[in-house]
Structure 1
């Protein structure tokens, strides 16, 4: 049997998309894959509990921006991203999945993980590690934060007929990387925001697993 593909997941919140990956790992939905590290930028993120409660438990790590900058006043936001990249590279992943990670990563993070910029300490990746992100909107529409609410409000104003969600490659421009999986999600007339959000999240749980599988298969063919 080939060695399992190693997955690192970055989270900020409750971790429902992380749970979808946990449930799918090493099943036909995500075969020969293992979550090896979950990193959170929020100390109380319930996703950390999901990871430590998994069977077997998944190692976790925590590093938040503001406490980091307070502890190291001479450091910058970019330095923080370098530390996150160091944690990622040390785990030797085959893919990095941003699953509700509420922090815009700088280009330096991407350069390190893709092996274009070396760090002192860990060996640089021998291959370019893909970084993918789940975003609750269609490509080129409602980039950035609060995409679900913005789409819902646009529907109420008659500006759009539907919205959707996608998983895309991470590049320096927010939510502008190449889409890997895109899914339309209809908004029903008279539907409450909470009900629509719940339906959209169910689709997100599917596509984050699908996109991770696609990217791991692609990396297998390339190696």
Structure 2
């Protein structure tokens, strides 16, 4: 095993329970020889930032939100914001980027910088010649309930008798929302008369398992970046 730990960057917007699952799995058989060296949020109050700061050792954090960025940088666009997010990620030199409840659709400008199709202007040290994989956790099955509010939409479809189960997946991130190659897919059946919060709790428990499994799977497929 390489003495160089595999580096993970996590992007999130909320409470960070999936981040916690990753933290708890670090340097165990579930996620060996790994460290999280950046947690970036687009929401200042995201509790995931607190989880990172309270980890041992503390995990570096960053905050960058779209609207404040646009307000402070007149003339800049959403694509410029996504490129700035990419720059912050690239400074951490990760082997993988995990979107764990990141509630912002990243444009092509982010992916181009992460996979090496485009260089960072004026900062050649941030450019990568080796594509950095980006994966995302989505609470639905492939091709089912893409985008926001997937859990609520699936539950509503169940109540209408249209489906009997939904699920959760981790997939590679491409420009089309929630359409990248699925890495791990798990079905989660509905239970008659179960309230949505009961279903959501069971689904989140599955999420905590597969986000770790998918991260390990992708890291094992790639050699760690050398310092």
Instruction: Pick the TM interval, shorter chain.
Output: over 0.9
- Does the CA-based 8 Å contact 2:169-2:185 persist in structure 1? yes
Local SS of the residue matching 1:61: strand
Which residue in 2 is equivalent to 1:202?
205
Q: CA RMSD in A?
A: 1.4
* Structural mapping, 1:58-207, within 5 Å: 58-120=59-121, 121=123, 122-207=125-210
Distance 2:153 2:126 in 1: 42
> Normalising by structure 1, what TM-score?
0.98
Unaligned runs of 5+ in 2: none
Asked whether 1:47 is paired with 2:52, we answer: no
Unaligned runs of 5+ in 1: none
Distance 2:128 2:205 in 1: 34
> Normalising by structure 2, what TM-score?
0.96
Which residue in 2 is equivalent to 1:214?
217
Q: How many residues align?
A: 223
Which residue in 2 is equivalent to 1:26?
27
Deviations 1:149-198 (A, max 9, x none): 00000001010110000000000000000000000001100000011000
Deviation at 1:125, TM superposition (A): 1.5
Runs (4+) of structure 1 exceeding 6 A deviation are: none
Asked whether 1:57 is paired with 2:55, we answer: no
